[in-house]
Amino acid sequence: MQTQEAERSAVLVIKVEDVTYGYDTKPVISGFSAAIMRGDKIGIIGPNGAGKTTLLRLLLGELSPRQGYVRHGTRLNITYFDQLRAQLKEDKSVFDNVGDGNEVIIFNGKPRHVISYLQDFLFSPDRVRVPVNALSGGERNRLLLARLFARPSNVLVMDEPTNDLDLETLELLEELLLDYPGTLLLVSHDRAFLNNVVTSTFVFEGEGKVHEYIGGYDDWQWQSEGKKKDVMEKIPAKTESARKQRERPRKLTFKEQRELEALPQRIEVMEAEQLQLYQAMSDPAYFQKGKEEIANIKARVSSLERELAEAFQRWETLENL
């Protein structure tokens, strides 16, 4: 699934140099430096109360450091996921909350009907007219995601977005973030989610020290075996239980499910084209065509045979899952 694109930001999104911030004599962040580049997906990890949200606010320029500096690149279009929660219009329908009274939204520069767009977020046509105050928790979360990704942005900020998400919505969010072309700043305790989404992590390691590690949650643990224990002991136990709950047998992701649903029609279209080409090749007039046209038809027949074999193999693989 594609996401709404804004104008691309500069290559350097945020530059942080020797930033220190704290309350009274207690440092929350001490001597932190980093460079966030366009397309980075940054996970922020630490125990509750360590200062993760404070770090986000410093990075966004909402707080001023007591020492050091934070510099932003040009053309930043920042969207903060949590701010959207308060912006849902409870008495309005799902349709109106996304379309704002319009039947069509402009998505990636092209018109798209709101109902078609909402179907990507698992809303059936009969549910798009339901008022927000009648939605289930899972539907509300999917509506928030639909509003979020309908807005053009090139920097996305999410603070614990997986809280209270059902499995279907969690997988949808993962797919959206993996496809997101901009820069992501993500606070989360969800180990599997971080592993699947982020490219590097900022980790609070005590006494205001924040260090950057390449990769996700497990990569941080591998790179910092000696440091992880102190941090992990302070992370709430519910994180571990939530992680275990999500360690489930392999099943189709949201994108794979959509792919499986589309495969029969795709195969039908290819088979129809293949039959048409075979009929054309059996016509005596076929040999009166030019050499280049004949070569193109033969090449397409060969390509279709390969594509059909791959499609049937893919269908079998997905069905087995």
Asked if 187 contacts 267 with a C-beta cutoff of 8 angstroms, the reply is no
Amino acid making up residue 240:
E
- pLDDT score of 245 more than 50: no
Q: What single DSSP character describes residue 10?
A: P
Asked if 149 contacts 3 with a C-beta cutoff of 8 angstroms, the reply is yes
For residue range 179-206, list pLDDT tens digits in order: 898 999 999 989 999 999 999 999 999 8
Q: What is the pLDDT of residue 43?
A: 96
Q: What is the pLDDT of residue 160?
A: 87
Asked if 297 contacts 280 with a C-beta cutoff of 8 angstroms, the reply is yes
**pLDDT band per the 50, 70, 90 thresholds, residue 4:** low
- Burial (CB < 10 A; 0-12, 13-18, 19+), residue 84, is middle
Average pLDDT, the chain: 84
Q: What is the pLDDT of residue 238?
A: 44
- pLDDT score of 230 more than 90: no
Please state, as a whole number, how many other Cβ atoms lie within 10 Å of the Cβ of residue 221.
18
- pLDDT score of 151 more than 90: no
Q: What is the pLDDT of residue 227?
A: 52
In the chain, how many H helices and how many E strands?
A: 12, 11
For residue range 6-21, list pLDDT tens digits in order: 567 778 899 999 999 9
| Domains in the chain: boundaries | 12-77+154-246, 84-150, 254-320
Average pLDDT over residues 111-118: 92
Q: For the domain 12-77+154-246, what is the CATH code?
A: 3.40.50.300
For residue range 83-99, list pLDDT tens digits in order: 666 678 889 999 999 98
Distances (CA, A) of 235 to 27, 54, 126, 217, 219: 20, 17, 42, 13, 18
Pick the CATH number of 254-320 from 3.30.499.10, 1.10.3720.10, 1.10.287.380, 3.40.50.20: 1.10.287.380
Please state, as a whole number, how many other Cβ atoms lie within 10 Å of the Cβ of residue 181.
13
Rounded distance between C-alpha atoms, residue 200 and residue 203, angstroms: 10
Q: What is the pTM of this model?
A: 0.67
User: Residue 214 contacts by C-beta under 8 Å, 6 or more apart in sequence?
Assistant: 199, 200, 223
**pLDDT band per the 50, 70, 90 thresholds, residue 3:** low
Chain-centre distance for alpha carbon 221: 23
Residue with tokens 């390969």: 306
Q: What is the pLDDT of residue 86?
A: 67
Judge whether 12-77+154-246 and 254-320 match in fold: no
Kind plus residue range of the DSSP H or E element containing 201: strand 200-204
Q: What is the pLDDT of residue 302?
A: 85
Residue with tokens 């279709």: 304
First-to-last CA distance in the chain? 21
